[in-house]
Structures are given as structure tokens and as C-alpha cells.
Structure 1
Amino acid sequence: MKNKKLVVAVAAALTAASAVPALALENQFTGSFTTFFDTGNFAGTGVVTDDAPTSNYFVQRLRLGYTAKADDHVKLVTKFEFDYNFWGNSSYENARGGGGALGADTVNMETKHIYLDLNYPTINAKIGMQPVSDAFKGVVFDADMAGIVLSHEYSNATVTAGYSRFHDSADGKEAAPGVNALGSKTYDMYLLDGKYTVSKEFTVGAAYYYINDNHTPGTYTLYTDSKVHTLGLNAAGVIGPVSLDGFAVKQFGDLTTGVDAKGYALNVGAKMALAGGTARTEFLYVSGGKNAFYVPSSDQGFTEGGQFYNSEMTMLGRDKWATTIDNAIIYDVNNNGEGVIMGTVGYDYNFTDKISGAANLGFAAVAKDAGVARHAGDSDYLGTEINAECYYKLSPNVTLGARGGYVVVGDYFAKDADNLWDMKALVNYSF
């Protein structure tokens, strides 16, 4: 009798389970593997000096993305990163970017994104650790951050609002003796962004960002107790054969304790078809000195914005291929409080379906001398860079490439400082 009851119970449970529809997830995997050899007298050290030593090193990076898609409205998005900062760096230890030495066996997985993406006709909501960029080509912020971003698309417009918490010190007013209250000393950002399509060939936009920082700073925090408002306009359009885009940004509030935020930035970019390829140019002005431009930074000293990759520079600005070894004369547009005056021109050309190339020329100076230590010369001119790159598609997913650059150092630096050079050979697999 007991056995019969057990059989009946199991049968009933299986019947009930079969009546519940299974959750069918669509599993999506994406990613890229990149490795390159780099040699030069700047990228490996970031130092402009005389008798600059030549570095040579190999870099390896894997980015792996997984999306669990429940339906057209709900998906969980994740992305992970595995770096060997350089081959031969360490083994048998837990370290960010370690494991490149003999034996490997290092725990070095980094979590970049984990967020829920809810996409409904009324609203799109992204909740969690996600990539967020400003509406001004990344000069204010362009980073991974935890928060909530809401957006809605109208027939001719898009409106976005969001909140992100950059840092929470957990050391504010004590909730009880020896117990700290989370949320009392934080580093928060609020955003509001709108874009309107005037016609098929012309769009305009406006954005407002407020960053309030009263967390306990780390050793390398750039500014403390900041309350910075950033307000800006952007536009993009087509005039005949030329595509134009640009922005104007103004900051106000408190840059840091007792110092007003007065920074501003201006940009214009252009592209046009030319001789079978594409010619392009960018001009950027970012204020400095008493009008230093605010860019948020982490406690580890990494600025989470200001990387003007549109310049396509390799040493004058940040190299698009650089990973953890990432050095540049202008690392971010705050530029040690001195700002930036930068102009670049470039040309892209596809020789065949498999072979493509590009060449770029750029110049840069500081907007205002702020008396920083590296300004050892008698000029505000930072330098002139020329670079070129060429890529060959070995297959639809595998690309081989070579990239090289040379910088004629300006008189901003010491008179005996060496000119800079860098060469890369790389392999990239995307899937």
C-alpha cells in the first residue's frame, strides 16, 4: 500500500510539472579575443624624457558576453573580461590582469556588466551595472557604472533619464556606536538627455548631468566634495557631401571645496567621401586653469571619461587598441587641469574587400598653463602626431593588423626630450 501511494504521488507531481510551461531562454554569446605585440619609447612607460627607453611587450585580452533572453521584452546582459596585462607578468596568484607568466593558474576574471534590460513600448529600462556614455563624444563620462537608465522613443524624439551611484563610502553618520550608515556619503550622478530629429538630415540634442560627490576620497581621487552641473547642446547634420556633428558644453557649481566649476568644451567634426575613401576631421577645445573641466574619476585615479577616441591618435591621445597599459600625453580632456586644444585630420580607405587602412595627423596644445611638473619647456604646444594602420581580414571573424605612430614633441616639454614612436602588430577574433 505504501509503495502504491508513493507511485501515485510521483505520478501526480510529474503531471503537475508537465502542466507548467517551461521558460525557454535564448542564450546569446558574443565576445572578442585580441592580442598584440607593442614596441616603442612611450606606450610602455608614459614618460616623455631624453634617452627614453624602448619597451617591448605582448598584451592579451578576452571579452566574453552572455545574454539570457526570455522574450523580446526581457533579457539579462552580462560581460566579463580576462586580461593578461602583459605576457610574463605573474602566475599562481590572484591579481587583476595577472597570469601571463610561466604556469599561469591565476584568478583574473573581471566583471564589466550585469544588468536587466526591460524593453517595452512605453519605456526601456536598464537596471544594474552597465555601460553609460554622455552625449558629447565621451568627454564628460564614458564608463561602466551601477544605476538605472530609463528611455522612451517618440516618433521624432528620444528622452533618457538616469541615476548612477559611483561610490558609497559607508562611513557617514553612525546608525549605532561603531555601525556606519550606507548612503550617507556617496558619489552620485543624475542624467537627463533628449534628442530630436528635425529632418532626415538634421538632429539636435540637449543633455544635463549633475554629479554630487561627498564620499570619503581615495588616495588618487582627482577632486573632492564636487557638486558639478554639466549642461550642453549637440547637433548632427548633412550639408551637401559633408556630414557634420559637434557640441558645446558648460559646467557650473563646485569643482571642489572653495573652487567654482567653470569648465567648458567645444567640438566640431566632419566627414565626407573623397577619392573612394572617407576623409574626416575633428577639432576640440576644452578649457583649463581657473576654468578646469571636470571629469569624474575613481578612487584608484582612473578618469572615467574624457577619452576623446574620435581623434584616432596613438600617443597624443589614448590609443583605441590599448588595454590595461594605456598611456597618452592627453589621457583625458581635463589634462591635469590644463585643458586641451586639439585638431586632427584622417583618411580611411578600403583597398579590397579584405584589406583596409587609415592615416591620421593631429596636433595639440594645452588651453591654459597650470604650472604642472611636466611643463618643463617654454611653450604650451604638446606635439604633432602622424600615424597609420592597415588591416587584413583573414576570415570574416579574424583580423590581422599593424599600427604605427610618431610624435614630434612640442616645446611644452623639456628641450632635450625625445620624439615618441610606437608600433603594434595585432590579431583580433570577434564572435
Structure 2
Amino acid sequence: MEQRQRFALNYKGENVGAVGLFEIDFTNWGDSAYTAGRNQGAGLEADSINLETKNFYLWFNVPNTSVKVAAGLQNQTDSFGGMIFGYADMAGVFVTGKMDPVSYKLGFAKFQEGTSVKDDDVDLYVAEAKFTPTKDTRVGVDLYIIRDASGGTAAGSGTFGTNLNTIGRLGADYPVQLGATSFTYQPSNFYYLGVDGAVKAGPVGLSGFAFYNFGTVELPVGTLNGSVLDNTDKDVKAWAVDLRADADLGPGKAFIEGAYVSGTGDNDSDFKSPVTAGNYALAGSFALTSMDMQILLNSLDDINASAA
């Protein structure tokens, strides 16, 4: 039997506060004891080092404004159903504010700090603006940028020290027979430009989003799924769209939702699947949870070790 428990420390003043969120979970009751590591320690006598830090950040309001600043290790989700970074814990600074009828978010996060002082990090930049002319209508414009300079050295093992080599989503979508994957690349930028929105009229509501992911994997050298990369840039040309309808039906509710995400075809020479935070961490992208599926897509009810 699996077990997961989270607990929070939350200090909240009038204009300043701090949050700490921690987690302990076990893969199985009786799995191990006297050990150090996550997802274990429920064996007889236990006594293991297995406390995980999920969030640890400070927030404050700028006096006499609507601006709020949060700095530290915190949870963030994009406006595209969590497809780029969904319910992901990241260290950074995020600023939110409102100038009716417009609200906004600006932010920066460090996905990965390289091992040297040179340009070898993975960073995220966020800019969102939401226009809300009425309480039942919202239109948003969103821009995200992933700056990946981690490709100059071999990727680490496990779930950290990763780059496009390791998690393998790009490799799995590439149109070649599966084989060895080991390549380096120069600092690369991946851009995400899109819109999101929602409107409600009486018992019926519509919501959705669309985005285009573009950029370039700069000068990759090595092998990708057994295919030789010849030091030629590979473009990223990916997109996705989602539309959902909700309805209040008497005492119940119903919804229908459809989504399309582009993929790489057999004859494509470029990457046509989105690059996401899931390329850099196992649960960095937690997408389309609104569909309430348990097998085909991610579910917020999936609270076991598979959801990090």
C-alpha cells in the first residue's frame, strides 16, 4: 500500500508572508528502514531520512499597489492546461498585479544551475496578461521562453542534471528507429506564444487555449535514437489547441473537451512535438488534468509516487 502525506507551514501577515510545503511518501508499506531517500522508509522501525521539500518561499505586497512578489521555491502552472510546466515546483521570482480590467504575471525561474560559471543553465521566463471585461469573460495572451544552455556537456543520471538527452521525449518523437541517444548542442531558446480564454452565458461555459512552440536546437552533434546528427540546426515547430464546454444540468454538471497536440511525422526533419519542462524533470509537465482521466492523461487525484 502506498502512502503520501503533505504538511505546510504558513505565516501570513498583512503585507508579508512565508510558505513551506513538505512531503513524506512511501512506495509500499514495509518497503525499507534505516535508509536515506525519497519514496521509501515504511519498513519495520522506519527511522529513515525521507522528508521532501516541495515549496519554500517568501511573498510580500508592494505598499499602496496591487503588486505581489513571491520569491523562492514555489509551484507554478502555465495557462495552457499545464502542458509546458504544470503544477511544477521551481525556484524563482514571480510578480503579479492588476490594473482593472487587466491582470498580469511576470516571472523568472531557474530550472537547473550548471556546474560552472559559464552559460550552462536552464531558465524559464514568463509573461502573461489577462483581460477581464466582465466577471464571466476572460481573454489572455501568454509568452514563455525556455533558455537551455545545458547541452554542452553530458547529461547527469536520474532526474536532475538533465537536458534534451535524458528524459527522452524529444527522442521518442523523432522519426527514426529507436537506438542510442547521446548528443550535445549549443545554447538554444524555445518560445511559446499563445492565447487562452473563457466565457460563460447562463448554464453554459466555454474555455480553451492555443499556442505555438518554436525555436531551434542549435548545432546538435552525436546520435539521436541511432541516427547521426550532423551539426545542423533542428527547428522546433509545434502547436496545440484545446476547447472545453461545461454545462449545468439541473443538480449535476457535464463537460466535453477536446485537445490536439502536434507530433513528429515519419518524414519530418524538424521537431514538431512541444519541448516542455517534462524534458528536464519527470513531472515538470502535468498536462490536461481538466479532463479527469486516470489512464490516458494526468489526473490530480493521482497522488502516488508516479506523480512525483
Alignment-mate amino acid for residue 132 of structure 1: Q
Q: How many residues align?
A: 258
Alignment-mate amino acid for residue 218 of structure 1: G
Provide the rounded CA distance (Å) in 2 between the counterparts of 1:110 and 1:198.
Answer: 42
- C-alpha root-mean-square deviation of aligned residues, in Å? 1.9
| TM-score of the aligned structures, taking structure 2 as reference length | 0.79
| C-alpha displacement of 1:255 | 4.7
| C-alpha displacement of 1:94 | 0.8
Is 1:203–2:141 an aligned residue pair? no
* Contact preservation (8 Å) 1:295, 1:303: no
What is the aligned partner in structure 2 of residue 254 from structure 1?
A: 216
Q: 1:75 to 1:194 in 2, by over 3 A?
A: same
Is 1:308–2:288 an aligned residue pair? yes
Provide the rounded CA distance (Å) in 1 between the counterparts of 2:122 and 2:261.
Answer: 24
Q: 1:255 to 1:140 in 2, by over 3 A?
A: farther
Provide the rounded CA distance (Å) in 2 between the counterparts of 1:255 and 1:313.
Answer: 33
- Name the SS of the counterpart of 1:192 in structure 2: strand
* Contact preservation (8 Å) 2:85, 2:278: no
Is 1:319–2:268 an aligned residue pair? no
What is the aligned partner in structure 1 of residue 127 from structure 2?
A: 192
- Name the SS of the counterpart of 1:313 in structure 2: coil
Q: 199, 210, 223: which is aligned to 1:237?
A: 199
Q: Deviations over 1:175-210 (max 9, x none)?
A: xxxxxx2x6310001110000112232110011001
Q: Deviations over 1:275-332 (max 9, x none)?
A: 4100012111000004111112365x514114221111111112323234428xxxxx
What is the aligned partner in structure 2 of residue 284 from structure 1?
A: 259
- Name the SS of the counterpart of 1:326 in structure 2: helix
What is the aligned partner in structure 1 of residue 240 from structure 2?
A: 265
* Contact preservation (8 Å) 1:318, 1:326: no
Instruction: Single out whichever of 314-323 and 280-289 deviates more from structure 2.
Output: 314-323
Q: 1:318 to 1:200 in 2, by over 3 A?
A: closer
| C-alpha displacement of 1:103 | 1.8
What is the aligned partner in structure 2 of residue 296 from structure 1?
A: 277
| TM-score of the aligned structures, taking structure 1 as reference length | 0.57
Provide the rounded CA distance (Å) in 2 between the counterparts of 1:210 and 1:112.
Answer: 23
Provide the rounded CA distance (Å) in 2 between the counterparts of 1:293 and 1:230.
Answer: 9
What is the aligned partner in structure 1 of residue 36 from structure 2?
A: 94
Is 1:81–2:23 an aligned residue pair? yes
Is 1:59–2:27 an aligned residue pair? no
- Name the SS of the counterpart of 2:290 in structure 1: helix
Gaps of 5+ in 1: 1-57, 172-180, 328-431
Q: Deviations over 1:312-356 (max 9, x none)?
A: 1111112323234428xxxxxxxxxxxxxxxxxxxxxxxxxxxxx
What is the aligned partner in structure 1 of residue 73 from structure 2?
A: 129
* Contact preservation (8 Å) 2:286, 2:298: no
Bigger relative contact order, structure 1 or 2 (CA pairs below 8 A, ≥6 apart): 2
Provide the rounded CA distance (Å) in 2 between the counterparts of 1:99 and 1:311.
Answer: 34
| C-alpha displacement of 1:240 | 3.6
Q: Deviations over 1:366-421 (max 9, x none)?
A: xxxxxxxxxxxxxxxxxxxxxxxxxxxxxxxxxxxxxxxxxxxxxxxxxxxxxxxx
What is the aligned partner in structure 1 of residue 227 from structure 2?
A: none
- Name the SS of the counterpart of 2:277 in structure 1: coil
What is the aligned partner in structure 2 of residue 43 from structure 1?
A: none
Gaps of 5+ in 2: 158-165, 171-184, 221-232, 265-270
Alignment-mate amino acid for residue 259 of structure 1: K
Alignment-mate amino acid for residue 201 of structure 2: I
* Contact preservation (8 Å) 1:269, 1:283: yes
What is the aligned partner in structure 1 of residue 105 from structure 2?
A: 160
Q: 1:67 to 1:306 in 2, by over 3 A?
A: closer
What is the aligned partner in structure 2 of residue 103 from structure 1?
A: 45
